[in-house]
Chains A and B, each alone.
Chain A
Amino acid sequence: AQSVTQLDSQVPVFEEAPVELRCNYSSSVSVYLFWYVQYPNQGLQLLLKYLSGSTLVESINGFEAEFNKSQTSFHLRKPSVHISDTAEYFCAVSPRGHSTDKLIFGTGTRLQVFP
């Protein structure tokens, strides 16, 4: 079975500061890794994903995440946040070769960006 731990339930940060949202997972098999974002009063949107290849993956809005197999982590980073990045971020894993019904989400990290 897989599990996901997001260590920080809330992360307050000032605009233009860097941020890191932590995600650790546990799995006995190889996994795919994902970050989803939920803006206020909206559903979740896929932010980025790691399936294979380069361990560093990037999103179109400046976020990046690095898959670290030895530390079983997939932390999300952004060098300079904007007010519009205020949202809840969910890390998720699924075992390789399985369909989306096996997607396991973390409990989420609420990122609040202050001016």
Chain B
Amino acid sequence: KAGVTQTPRYLIKTRGQQVTLSCSPISGHRSVSWYQQTPGQGLQFLFEYFSETQRNKGNFPGRFSGRQFSNSRSEMNVSTLELGDSALYLCASSLEAGAVTGELFFGEGSRLTVL
């Protein structure tokens, strides 16, 4: 069974640009969550999608957005990039949004560098 796939793995952008990251969850998983990982802040929850609907959103500005498609694949977009957006962006999938076992399956992440 294929794991969570994130593309691209690495990318470099300049301030003011925008970026789109893609995540394909494990087959059969309908919930996709996004996290930002930085050395100083650790893992910060961005948002979760289930059945093409955003269920919950973390404390990030509106420049961060996402969506989920009917096949459960998800994208996140960051507009007007700032230096502080440099981070590893992790996508995680789970079977159901209502799952309480806490087992998230993570991809390897997309490492974004903003110059």
Contact = CB atoms under 8 A, between A and B. Distances in A.
Nearest to B96: A99
B52 interface: no
B100 A44 contact: no
Interface residues of B, number: 27
A43 B90 contact: yes
B78 interface: no
Interface residues of A, number: 27
Given A92-B102, A106-B42, A101 B55 contact: yes
Contact of B102 (A32, A41, A45, A107): A32
A100 B109 contact: no
B43 A49 contact: no
Give me the 10 closest cross-chain CB pairs, A-B, nearest first.
Answer: A43-B106, A107-B42, A101-B48, A105-B43, A101-B56, A44-B106, A43-B108, A43-B107, A100-B94, A46-B103
Interface of A: 32, 34, 36, 41-46, 49, 51, 90, 92, 94, 96-108
